[in-house]
């Protein structure tokens, strides 16, 4: 995916304000109504239409008028929000060349002011399995905006949390630097993915080291689940670094043994084929404990001394909760079960851009910012719903720490959200049935927030760009 960060320079604060407004709206809408965007962004002198047009031109938004006039973020739009946040935080100052295209990610070099180069991974969950995201919506009924945006963010958070925890336990992983939205910044690994290595000085040593890592991970309660030549980096001194963690599961997972065996098998197969190594396999029918096992015998899941949950505390410390772990596991599970041990890595679909970025300039002709009074296609209940969703967006802000405000639409407690939404909905319907004009006026966002701190917090966030 082309990431033309030059555009970043030409984007104004108002552009980011509107982009953020679309992101916030996407919490409750797959396509965010233009009216809602205008209301959330509440630009001082109007002008949302012009900004939307600009964002559309740069392919940061996708326009959709099939059901109503609305927009959604494209991957690029989401990338820019994350990159801008990282730059604002001082994590890096420039984005360089693309160094990797993974199955569900794009990896770029980024550099600090002092010239240090790091790696930035932008997660694209649902890219190769976009259809899968759709079909899996069924079990995600409780959260109908459970889309690529949310899934990619979860994947990034999980990767960051695991990388950090693994690093703290002495595993050879990149240094986890920071995480925002679907973006993880980490140290750049010197070397190459094992798949590109044709020759090794000491294939046996590397082989043993890698198998040792699988075992040590299991001892710490974890299975990588995608441990193969694409996710193992090796440098000139044949030092191994493992990468790519969003699909890791606990050893208490119901399919743990299968995943463990598959990781082991991948390594055996690769080293056998690439480095012509031969292995003396033990007889499966013989109890392993009775055999004098030497170093080269195949690790078995049952013989590993596992301590499930060992890393839980560290993971939680990075903000990755049990609930999120379960959610992403359920989503990824289908994929890792279908996957033949990562052999699909080399065949990623590079046509993904078209899926989310199809808007042409022609669409601009049909782009209109509907005014509140002309939304005749919306019945009153729709408008009530809309105003609830708007205040819902503002309400969730209250729970956020001011220092996290640039993360904006990230950390929402779903249960609370649903509860407050239901409450507001009931109240609004009751008010409407009493004949009171309850739906939001163009400025309701502002008006409502006037007395509480909602509005000022959002304004602060929007102004912080
Ligand atoms: P995916 O989850 O999409 O498979 P990976 O994390 O495996 O993504 O990264 C894809 C490729 O990008 C890797 O095979 C590797 O070549 C490169 N890469 C990823 N992380 C780093 C890093 N920290 N340093 C250097 N290269 C990296
Ligand atoms: Mg990978």
Q: What is the pLDDT along the chain (465 residues), one digit of tens a residue?
A: 567 777 788 889 999 999 999 999 998 898 999 999 999 999 988 899 999 999 999 999 999 999 999 999 999 999 999 999 999 999 999 999 999 887 789 999 999 999 999 999 999 876 654 444 444 444 444 444 457 788 899 999 999 999 999 999 999 999 999 999 999 999 999 999 999 999 999 999 999 999 999 999 999 999 999 999 999 999 999 999 999 999 999 898 889 999 999 999 999 999 999 999 988 765 555 554 444 444 558 999 999 998 866 677 778 777 788 888 878 877 776 554 444 333 334 333 333 322 222 222 222 222 222 223 333 333 333 333 333 333 333 333 323 333 333 343 433 333 444 454 445 445 544 544 444 333 333 233 333 333 344 445 444 555 555
For the chain, the distance separating the N- and C-terminal CA atoms, rounded to the nearest angstrom, is 25
Tokens of 97: 């060349």
> How does pLDDT run across 317-361, given as a tens digit for each residue?
777 888 888 788 777 765 544 443 333 343 333 333 222 222 222
Bridge-based pairing state of the strands 105-111 and 94-101: antiparallel
Pocket of ligand 1 (CB under 6 A): 99-100, 102-105, 107, 119, 121, 174, 186, 188-189, 193, 230-231, 243-244
Take atom 6 of ligand 1 and give the residue whose Cα is closest: 244
**Does residue 95 contact residue 83 with C-beta atoms inside 8 Å?**
yes
Q: What residues have CB less than 8 Å from 144, skipping those under 6 apart?
A: 30, 137
Count of H-run helices and E-run strands, the chain: 17, 13
pLDDT single digits (tens) 192-241: 999 999 999 999 999 999 999 999 999 999 999 999 999 999 999 999 99
Closest CA to 396 of 378, 382, 409: 409
Length of the chain: 465
To the query of whether residue 15 is one of the catalytic residues in this protein, the response is no
Distances (CA, A) of 220 to 109, 249, 288, 303: 31, 11, 22, 14
CA of 107 to the centre of ligand 1 (A): 6
Residue 142's pLDDT is: 41
Active site residue: 15, 38, 79, 226, which one?
Answer: 226
Report if pTM > 0.75.
no
> 338 to each of 244, 250, 312, 332, 454, how far by Cα in Å?
18, 19, 27, 10, 45
For residues 312 and 315, give the distance between their C-alpha atoms in angstroms, rounded to a whole number: 5
Cα-atom radius of gyration of the chain, to the nearest Å?
25
Whose Cα sits closest to atom 14 in ligand 1?
A: 230
For residue 326, give both structure tokens: 């379960």
CB of 392 closer than 8 Å to CB of 445: no
């Amino acid at each position: 995916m082309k990431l033309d960060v030059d555009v970043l320079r030409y984007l104004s604060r108002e552009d980011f304000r509107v982009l953020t407004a679309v992101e916030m709206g996407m919490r409750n809408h797959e396509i965010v109504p233009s009216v809602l965007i205008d209301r959330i962004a509440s630009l001082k002198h109007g002008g949302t239409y012009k900004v939307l047009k600009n964002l559309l031109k740069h392919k940061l938004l996708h326009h959709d008028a099939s059901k109503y006039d609305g927009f959604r973020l494209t991957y690029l739009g989401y990338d820019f929000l994350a990159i801008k946040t990282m730059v604002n935080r001082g994590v890096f100052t420039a984005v360089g060349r693309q160094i990797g295209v993974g199955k569900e990610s794009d990896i770029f070099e980024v550099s600090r002011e002092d010239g240090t180069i790091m790696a930035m991974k932008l997660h694209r969950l649902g890219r190769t399995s976009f259809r899968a995201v759709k079909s899996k919506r069924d079990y995600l009924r409780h959260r109908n905006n459970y889309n690529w945006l949310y899934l990619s963010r979860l994947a990034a958070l999980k990767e960051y949390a695991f990388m950090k925890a693994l690093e703290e336990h002495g595993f050879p992983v990149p240094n986890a630097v920071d995480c925002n939205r679907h973006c993880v910044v980490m140290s750049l690994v010197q070397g190459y993915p094992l798949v590109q290595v044709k020759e090794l000085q000491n294939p046996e040593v590397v082989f043993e080291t890698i198998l040792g890592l699988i075992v040590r991970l299991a001892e710490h309660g974890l299975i990588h689940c995608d441990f193969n030549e694409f996710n193992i980096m090796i440098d000139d001194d044949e030092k191994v670094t493992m990468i790519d963690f969003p699909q890791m599961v606990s050893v208490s997972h119901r399919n743990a043994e299968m995943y463990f065996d598959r990781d082991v098998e991948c390594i055996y197969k690769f080293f056998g084929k690439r480095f012509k190594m031969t292995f003396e396999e033990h007889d499966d029918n013989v109890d392993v404990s009775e055999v004098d096992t030497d170093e080269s015998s195949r690790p078995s899941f049952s013989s590993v001394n596992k301590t499930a949950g060992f890393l839980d505390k560290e993971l939680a410390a990075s903000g990755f909760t049990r609930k999120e772990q379960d959610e992403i596991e359920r989503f990824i599970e289908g994929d890792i079960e279908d996957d033949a041990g990562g052999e699909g890595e080399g065949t990623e679909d590079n046509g993904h851009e078209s899926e989310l970025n199809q808007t042409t300039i022609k669409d601009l002709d049909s782009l209109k910012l509907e005014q509140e009074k002309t939304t005749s296609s919306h019945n009153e209940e729709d408008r009530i719903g809309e105003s609830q969703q708007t205040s819902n967006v503002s309400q969730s802000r209250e729970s956020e720490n001011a220092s996290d405000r640039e993360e904006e639409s990230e950390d929402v407690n779903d249960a609370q959200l649903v509860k407050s939404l239901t409450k507001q909905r009931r109240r609004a319907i009751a008010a409407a049935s009493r004949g009171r004009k309850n739906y939001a006026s163009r400025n309701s966002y502002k008006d409502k927030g006037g007395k509480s701190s909602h509005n000022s917090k959002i304004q602060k966030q929007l102004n912080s760009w």
